[in-house]
Amino acid sequence: MGVIKFPKSKAEGYALRLRSAESYEEVLNVIKELEEDVRKSKRADLVLVLLQAYILAGMADEAIEVVNKAEPYMENDPNLYIHLIDLKANALIHKRLLREAVRELEKAIGKFPADKFPSVNKLKALKVVSLVNLGDFPSALEALNEMGKDVFLDNVTPEVGLMIIERIHSFEQAKSHLEENKDYRQAYEELKEIASFSEGVYPYAFIEGDHLRYGFVVNMQESDAGRIVEKEIELFNRLMGRTGRPYVVMVNPV
């Protein structure tokens, strides 16, 4: 017979029940009890478990509402605040508000140095993942290099880590190729200028076999991208028609 572990606190007890829940209904029952407890006690540890429960149940709007109320009270406790922003970013990602999630992560990363607060590395890793999913590979590469690949891999699941590294590596190879070739570099700079006209449209380059491909990544979830991407495709087609270089448009599903 195995050792029976009893929760050390009420928050741990709720977390244990969430992990062992076998149905959506069970999760909702835990949420109902948690909401009542949070209303009565306002305890920070219960608020964090409630946020985890909301995210687990797909209730991102409720999670964000709680975070916005709790944020001013947790700013004085760095570890609680970092955990709170981690949960808020996950809720925003669940709603596909990736750019907003990146902004929230950057705000917390700027407040707390990772050498004093190692849990900030989890926020940095989440920022890298979010930037890749946005299609903003230049910023993702910069963020990854800043934190280091080993630290990144320590703060994500192995499957996610390897997939993200592979996608960034492909961009990195293409970027190197672009930097070595004057004509390609000039075209890529023009591409960046076109892409800068709106949020949600990013320059992209990658190696496909022996060929360099480049063009736009379009994040259709961002506010302007869906409306004005046609104008940018037309501009770039004109540019590529003039130079005869390969062109690809990648629509990022997010």
- Domain ranges in the chain? 10-135, 181-250
Alpha helices (runs of H) in 78-136, residue ranges in sequence order: 78-94, 98-111, 120-134
Look up the CATH number of domain 10-135: 1.25.40.10
pLDDT tens, 81-94? Answer: 999 999 999 888 88
pLDDT tens, 6-40? Answer: 446 788 888 888 888 888 888 899 899 999 998 88
Look up the CATH number of domain 181-250: 3.30.70
- pLDDT band for position 199 (cuts 50, 70, 90): low
- pLDDT band for position 158 (cuts 50, 70, 90): confident
Q: Establish how many alpha carbons lie within 13 A of residue 137's alpha carbon, considering only the half-sphere containing its beta carbon.
A: 26
C-alpha closest to that of 140 among 116, 112, 170 = 170
Mean of the pLDDT values across residues 111-122? Answer: 91
Do the first three CATH levels of 10-135 and 181-250 match, i.e. the same topology? no
Mean of the pLDDT values across residues 70-90? Answer: 88
Is the model's pLDDT at 174 over the cut of 90?
no
Whether pTM > 0.95 for this model: the answer is no
CB 195 within 8 A of CB 136: no
* Cα–Cα separations (whole angstroms), residue 175 to 44, 50, 168: 45, 43, 10
Neighbours of 28 (CB within 10 A): 13
C-alpha closest to that of 38 among 52, 26, 22 = 52
Distance CA 49, CA 55 (A): 10
Q: Give the pLDDT score at 21.
A: 84
* Cα–Cα separations (whole angstroms), residue 128 to 34, 112, 151, 205: 32, 17, 12, 17
